[in-house]
Structure 1
C-alpha cells in the first residue's frame, strides 16, 4: 500500500464522535499561534513534569533503560535525567503543535541550519539518501525543519485509526514538501531513493525479532537492532547520512546532516552493519540524551524469545 494522497475531507468527519479530536487540535493550534515561544516552552516542560506523577510506569521504563545504557550513573543522576526526560516529553506536545500549525516564516525563526553539507552535496549530485535520524522527542520539528531548509523527504508512516486525527496528522506531517509512504511499502522506499530523493529512517528502536540482529548499543552487549538500514541501503545503492535536530539552550533547533557514511558501511553484513549504525545512533543521541525517547522499552527483546521483557522485571 502506498500513501500518496492527502485524506479527503468529507462531511462524515464532522460527526459528533470526532468533535473531541477537532476541539483538542483546535485548542492546540490556537495556543501555539497566540503565545510566544518562551511561554510555550515553560508550559510544555511544566506539563511534562506534572504528567510524571501519573506516568510512573513509563518513568520506570526510562530509568531502567538508563541503568542499562549508562551503568555508571548515580541514583541522583538517574532521578534528574528521568525528570528532565519527562519535561521534554511534555514539550513534545507543544512541538507537535508548532510543527503542524505554525506558518513557515515563524517556524523558520527557531531553526539553525548548523551543517547540512552532506545532504546538499547529494542533492546537487542527484543521489538518493537514507537519512537516518533517531526518535528524539522533538522529531516532528526535525522532519519539517529539513523541508523548510530546502531538503524535503519521504517518511515511513502508519495512518491513524481515527479518520479525523488522520486528516489533521497527514497535513501536519506533509508541510513544505515532505511526503509519506506506508511503513511496510519497501518497494516504494527503494524506488524514491533510486530516483534521487531522501527517505527519513529511524533505526534506533527495538522492533522485535523480525529482520533484526543483536549487537551492542551503549553498555548493552545484545540489543535488538533492525537490519532495515542495510536492506534499504544495499538494494537502493543510496547514500547514508545520519541526521539530527535537537533543541539548544536558547530554544532553537540545530539541524545537522554533515556525514556521509555509505563508503565504510558494511551493507552486505547485516550484523556488522547494525553494529556500525548503532555507533552513529549513539553519537546522535549523545548530542542531547535527555531529548531522546527513553520511555520506550529499547532493550525488551533478547536472543532467547522466552526471556523477552525480562530486563524490565
Structure 2
C-alpha cells in the first residue's frame, strides 16, 4: 500500500513556483466560502468560461453531437450551457473537497447500495470502484470515504505545488493515493482487500487500449479495468454519483457479474456502457470538454479538426 503520510512540501524559494503558491492560497480562500455563494460564483465562472474557452467549447459541442444525435441544436445548446455552469460549480466543489469542509454536503447526501460494499468487505475481497470524470467526483469521493476506506488513482500534476497541495488535500480523507503509473502498488492494495476508486473514461495515450463503443461511437479505451480484475481478483463495482439540486446522490451498483472474461475488448465495452449509464443520469455534470474521441479507428479522422464540423455518428 502507498504510504498515506503527507507528501513533502516543495520549496518556497523558486520564483517560478510563486504563481502556483498564490493560486493555491486563492483556492483555499474559495474553499472556505459559504456553499450557496460558491454555487452562485461557480455558475458565473462557468458562464464566463463558455464565452472565452473557445477550443474547449468546440470540443464539448463535438462530443455532444456525437453522443446525443437525437437532440436538436437548441437542446444541445442548453446542455452545453448547463455543462459549463456545472463546470464552474465543480471547480468550487473540487476546492472544498480538497481543502474545505464537507459538512453542508453531509447533511444532504443520500447513499444507496452500501450493502454491496459491506458484503465484499466482509469477504476480504478487493473492490475496484469504477466511475467517470464527473464534476462531482472529488466531493462524492470524499463523502463515500465517510463509510468505506477508499483509495484513489490520479494523474500526477506537472506543477510540484499543485501536486503537493492536491495530494495533501486528498489524503485528508482517502486511505491512499496512487499515481496512474504506479500500477504495482495499486494492484497490491486490491490484492490485500482494499477499495480503489478509478475512472477509465479518458483517452490515455501510451496505455494499452482497445476501441470500444461509448454512446455507440468507437472510443479508445484503456483495458486496465480488465487487467486489474484479472490479476488482483477484485470485484468491479460501478459507482454512480451526481448532484441533485442541493443534494448529493451516491449509488453503488452490484458488482459486475462474470467479470473479467477472457476478452479485454468485451470487458472494456461493459465498463463504457456502465459509465454511459452514469452520464445519462446527469449529463450536464460530465466533463464534456475532454476530447474523448480524438483517437479513431483506422480510416476515421479526428472529429475535432477545425476543417471538420461535428462528425456524423459512426455506424
TM-score (ref. length: structure 2):
0.89
- Conserved in 2, the CA contact under 8 Å of 1:117 and 1:258? no
Counterparts of 2:255 and 2:34 in 1: how far apart (Å)? 37
In the other structure, the counterpart of 1:299 is: 293
Secondary structure, aligned partner of 1:44:
helix
In the other structure, the counterpart of 1:19 is: 18
Which segments of structure 1 move beyond 6 Å, counting only runs of 4 or more? none
TM-score (ref. length: structure 1):
0.90
Counterparts of 1:48 and 1:60 in 2: how far apart (Å)? 15
Counterparts of 1:59 and 1:3 in 2: how far apart (Å)? 39
Which of residues 160, 180, 183 in structure 1 aligns to 2:180?
183
- Of 286-295 and 181-190, the range deviating more from structure 2: 181-190
Residue 209 of structure 1 and its aligned partner are, at CA, apart by 7.0
Structure 1 position 171 matched with structure 2 position 164: no
Residue 136 of structure 1 and its aligned partner are, at CA, apart by 0.2
Aligned alpha-carbon RMSD (Å):
2.2
Structure 1 position 207 matched with structure 2 position 201: no
- Conserved in 2, the CA contact under 8 Å of 1:154 and 1:180? yes
Which of residues 40, 61, 68 in structure 2 aligns to 1:63?
61
- Conserved in 1, the CA contact under 8 Å of 2:4 and 2:175? no
Map Cα deviations across residues 192-243 of structure 1 (whole Å, 9 max, x no partner).
11100011111222224741111221131x2222211101111111111000
- Conserved in 2, the CA contact under 8 Å of 1:142 and 1:255? yes
Counterparts of 1:292 and 1:77 in 2: how far apart (Å)? 16
Structure 1 position 259 matched with structure 2 position 254: yes
The number of residue pairs the alignment matches comes to 306
Structure 1 unaligned blocks of 5 or more: none
Structure 2 unaligned blocks of 5 or more: 309-315
Residue 104 of structure 1 and its aligned partner are, at CA, apart by 5.0
Matches within 5 A, 1:1-313: 5-9=5-9, 12-33=11-32, 35-147=33-145, 149-208=146-205, 210-220=207-217, 222-249=218-245, 251-261=246-256, 263-304=257-298, 307=300, 309-310=302-303, 312=305, 313=308
Cα 1:311–1:28 change in 2 (3 A) is closer
Counterparts of 1:273 and 1:40 in 2: how far apart (Å)? 39
Cα 1:25–1:107 change in 2 (3 A) is farther
Residue 106 of structure 1 and its aligned partner are, at CA, apart by 4.5
Residue 15 of structure 1 and its aligned partner are, at CA, apart by 4.3
Residue 111 of structure 1 and its aligned partner are, at CA, apart by 2.7
Counterparts of 2:19 and 2:202 in 1: how far apart (Å)? 31
Map Cα deviations across residues 154-174 of structure 1 (whole Å, 9 max, x no partner).
222333222222221111111
Map Cα deviations across residues 239-279 of structure 1 (whole Å, 9 max, x no partner).
11000221112x22211113211x33343111111111121
Counterparts of 1:21 and 1:106 in 2: how far apart (Å)? 28
Residue 190 of structure 1 and its aligned partner are, at CA, apart by 1.4
